[in-house]
């Protein structure tokens, strides 16, 4: 795979790598002397993620520096930023604080700071489903839009947020639970809701706990034994029955377990020998045993394989094997599996993952290099990609602005770009990586369009290393009648033409000063991807059929296929949920987003 070296561009390179012109030939050859393997992509920040938790339509994560970030649905303040405004890009929660773990539930969030203190925020009375109350554990039924400390003075090692209930393990190994208890999911022997943490089976010691989104709870004691309690309508507890349990019952006595995950109506766990076991509802094939038969006791999945982690969601499951490969199975209607199909799959072969988390209808994962990727539904911005519509497949990287030494975000120099703008992280990316610059020292002009001539020049300079590179084409060579001999863009147009990246607009014209359209952009990007030996197989994304203006795509060769390809890879999304506006001109804001997405998709 060829890679691009991103070096600082000149002040007049204001466009992006793909906004160029209509291209023709499907195959192109790099010019003589170009060695692609000598170059590499840069990343947005050296600070990766260490933990991720996907909730119902929102996501939270902790970076390696201990900073806490959140994005997506925020109706009940579950992001913790002090507002109820949905966020389509990551926002830092309480800058200056440091966190060791976080858990996102249906509409509330729990987190543990590095000093062991427990904090909670969001809905305290069920939020999306109503009911019990007390999910935060602060002794009230009031929602919180910012983190509040739970039982000050206590110290915690792990925590899990369920649907309307919560659980946590203190540093002494004691297990505590609170919130809704209609099915006995707290495990205290009653069905009484608790607005503050109550200890479960005092005297026992626990190493992990998982609060499900179907009213169940799973836990592993320090001796490795597995226990379950709460709702059991589809065999979710794994005790061989469908009887609710108000106190923990041991599952398969004598077995030893290292990790577990409670989903909505099914559960999964990994034994100490690395074998994967699942049980509960299997209507969508979420158990992965090749059937759609519910299982009331754990069954082994692919007995000869070994697994390091698993996450059970609404009706699908994700797991990471010990070799770091990521696998997905179950319901894939919203591309929750991340492969663009409805088929169980090995996700992105060749990539290596350290952790994964399943939300309501989306997923998030951290690769071994610390980069964060999301996929699936994006109704409320839960993917953190800067917009809230459609979805994403394959997985797309979530971009976080680089941080200063004190954890505060370094401000952009542009007065017309706010941290609340959807395009903010993309502008940050292209600026930090010297791909684009401002139109002045203090303006970026995000709504301004680009000329085709500037786009072609930018393409050449990004591939070949910046403004100082001499273009090996004579300025007196005229290819198009409207590209004047000696014009600054003449050699760049010649280079793109000779490499079959552009052809013109007809009648031997290039229209160098015309603004480029989105369908032209897609076609150029498609041809450029072919030039760089990237994947150009045309596939249809989940959002494609929802665009009612597809008949507006021009009929010239390659336009429809290129736009469909760009949409599948998430490079060009709809202007709305039902329009892709093929003949609309692309803005600088869109440019920063498309370029960033292209690099993160193909530049691994």
Average pLDDT over residues 312-322: 94
pLDDT of residue 8: 30
pLDDT of residue 495: 82
Domain spans in the chain, listed from the N-terminal domain onward: 36-44+411-602, 107-353
On the question of pLDDT at 348 being above 90, the answer is: no
On the question of pLDDT at 350 being above 80, the answer is: yes
Q: What is the pLDDT of residues 227-264, one digit of tens each?
A: 999 999 999 999 999 999 999 999 999 999 999 999 99
C-alpha distances out from residue 93 to 69, 71, 97, 153, 519, Å: 6, 10, 8, 22, 39
| DSSP character string of 32-52 | TT--GGG-----S-S--EEEE
E strand intervals along 27-181: 49-54, 58-63, 68-72, 87-93, 99-104, 108-113, 118-122, 144-150, 156-161, 165-170, 175-179
pLDDT of residue 11: 25
Enumerate residues 6+ apart whose C-beta is below 8 A from 403: 45, 47, 65, 67, 409, 410
pLDDT of residue 580: 93
Average pLDDT over residues 517-527: 90
Buried b (16+ CB within 10 A) or exposed e, 322-347: eeebbbbbbbbebbbbbbbeeebbeb
Check residue 408 and report its DSSP letter: P
Q: How sure is the predictor about 533, in pLDDT bands with cuts at 50, 70 and 90?
A: confident
Residue 260's beta-bridge partner residues? Answer: 269
Distance CA 463, CA 521 (A): 17
On the question of pLDDT at 454 being above 70, the answer is: yes
On the question of pLDDT at 39 being above 60, the answer is: no
pLDDT of residue 467: 45
Q: What is the pLDDT of residues 277-294, one digit of tens each?
A: 999 999 989 999 999 999
C-alpha distances out from residue 363 to 9, 373, 391, 442, 510, Å: 36, 8, 11, 37, 44
Distance CA 578, CA 600 (A): 25
**Mean confidence (pLDDT) of the chain:** 83
The residue written with tokens 């002090």 in the block is 82
Peptide bond into 339 cis (omega under 30): no
On the question of pLDDT at 25 being above 80, the answer is: no
pLDDT of residue 476: 61
pLDDT of residue 9: 31
On the question of pLDDT at 6 being above 50, the answer is: no
Q: What is the pLDDT of residues 457-489, one digit of tens each?
A: 777 766 765 544 456 665 567 889 999 888 888
pLDDT of residue 337: 52
Q: What DSSP element (H or E) covers 246?
A: strand 245-251
Q: How sure is the predictor about 13, in pLDDT bands with cuts at 50, 70 and 90?
A: very low
231, 236, 239, 242 alpha-carbon torsion, rounded to 10°: 60
Higher pLDDT, residue 484 or 224: 224
Crossing angle between the packed helical segments 518-531 and 452-464, to the nearest 10 degrees: 20
Average pLDDT over residues 496-524: 90
Q: How sure is the predictor about 132, in pLDDT bands with cuts at 50, 70 and 90?
A: low
Task: Give me the CATH code for the 107-353 domain, please.
Answer: 2.130.10.30
Q: Are 87 and 381 in contact (CB under 8 A)?
A: yes
Average pLDDT over residues 166-175: 98
pLDDT of residue 345: 64
On the question of pLDDT at 341 being above 70, the answer is: no
Q: What is the maximum alpha-carbon separation in the chain?
A: 87
pLDDT of residue 474: 59
Distance CA 554, CA 518 (A): 11
Q: Are 83 and 425 in contact (CB under 8 A)?
A: no
CA 508 to chain centre: 44
User: Which of 252-256, 439-443, 496-500 is most confident?
Assistant: 252-256
On the question of pLDDT at 34 being above 80, the answer is: no
Q: What is the pLDDT of residues 69-127, one digit of tens each?
A: 999 999 999 999 999 988 888 999 999 999 999 999 999 999 999 999 999 999 998 55
Q: What is the pLDDT of residues 379-400, one digit of tens each?
A: 888 999 877 766 666 788 887 7
Q: How sure is the predictor about 40, in pLDDT bands with cuts at 50, 70 and 90?
A: very low
pLDDT of residue 20: 28
Distance CA 395, CA 335 (A): 10
Higher pLDDT, residue 387 or 494: 494
On the question of pLDDT at 437 being above 80, the answer is: no
């Amino acid at each position: 795979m060829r890679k691009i070296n991103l070096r600082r561009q000149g002040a007049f390179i204001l466009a992006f790598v793909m906004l160029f012109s209509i291209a023709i030939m499907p195959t192109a050859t790099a010019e003589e002397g170009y060695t692609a393997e000598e170059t590499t992509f840069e990343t947005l920040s050296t600070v990766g993620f260490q933990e991720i938790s996907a909730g119902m339509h929102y996501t939270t994560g902790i970076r390696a520096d201990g900073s806490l970030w959140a994005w997506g649905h925020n109706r009940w303040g579950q992001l913790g930023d002090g507002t109820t405004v949905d966020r389509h890009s990551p926002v830092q929660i309480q800058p200056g604080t440091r966190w060791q773990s976080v858990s996102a539930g249906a509409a509330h969030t729990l987190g543990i700071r590095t000093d062991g203190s427990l904090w909670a925020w969001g809905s305290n009375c069920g939020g999306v489903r109503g009911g019990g109350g007390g999910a935060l554990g602060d002794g009230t039924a009031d929602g919180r839009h910012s983190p509040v400390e739970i039982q000050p003075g206590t110290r915690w090692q792990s925590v899990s947020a369920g649907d309307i209930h919560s659980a946590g393990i203190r540093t002494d190994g004691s297990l505590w639970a609170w919130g809704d208890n209609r099915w006995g999911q707290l495990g205290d022997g009653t069905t009484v809701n608790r607005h503050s943490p109550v200890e479960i089976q005092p005297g026992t010691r626990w190493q992990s706990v998982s609060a499900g989104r179907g009213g169940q709870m799973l836990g592993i004691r320090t001796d490795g034994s597995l226990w379950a309690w709460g709702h059991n309508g589809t065999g979710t507890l794994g005790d061989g029955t469908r009887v609710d349990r108000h106190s923990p019952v041991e599952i398969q006595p004598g077995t030893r377990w290292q990790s577990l995950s409670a989903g909505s109506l099914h559960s999964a766990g990994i034994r100490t020998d690395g074998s994967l076991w699942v049980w509960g509802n299997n209507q969508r094939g979420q158990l992965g045993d090749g059937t759609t038969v519910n299982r009331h006791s754990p069954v082994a999945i692919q007995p000869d394989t070994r697994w390091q982690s698993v996450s059970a969601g609404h009706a699908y499951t994700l797991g990471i094997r010990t070799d770091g490969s990521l696998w997905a199975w179950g319901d894939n209607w919203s591309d929750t599996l991340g492969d663009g199909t409805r088929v169980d799959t090995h996700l992105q072969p060749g990539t290596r993952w350290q952790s994964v988390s399943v939300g309501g209808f989306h997923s998030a994962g951290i690769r071994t290099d610390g980069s964060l990727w999301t996929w699936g539904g994006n109704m409320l911005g839960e993917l953190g990609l800067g917009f809230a519509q459609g979805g994403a497949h394959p997985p797309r990287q979530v971009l976080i602005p680089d941080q200063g030494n004190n954890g505060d975000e370094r401000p952009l120099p542009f007065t017309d770009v706010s941290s609340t703008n959807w395009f903010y992280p993309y502008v940050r990316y292209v600026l930090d990586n010297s791909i684009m610059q401002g139109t002045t020292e203090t303006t970026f002009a995000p709504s301004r369009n680009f000329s085709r001539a500037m786009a072609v020049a930018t393409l050449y300079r990004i591939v070949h290393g910046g403004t100082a590179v001499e273009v090996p084409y004579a300025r007196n060579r005229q290819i198009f009648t409207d590209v004047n001999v000696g014009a600054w863009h003449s050699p760049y147009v010649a280079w793109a033409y000779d490499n079959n990246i552009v052809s013109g607009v007809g009648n031997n014209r290039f229209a160098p000063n015309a603004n480029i359209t989105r369908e032209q952009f897609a076609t150029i990007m498609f041809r450029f991807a072919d030039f760089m030996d990237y994947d150009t197989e045309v596939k249809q994304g989940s959002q494609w059929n929802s665009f009612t203006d597809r008949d507006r795509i021009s009929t010239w060769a390659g336009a429809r296929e290129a736009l469909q390809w760009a949409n599948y890879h998430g490079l060009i999304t709809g202007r709305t949920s039902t329009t892709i506006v093929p003949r609309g001109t692309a803005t600088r804001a869109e440019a920063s987003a498309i370029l960033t997405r292209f690099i993160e998709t193909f530049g691994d």
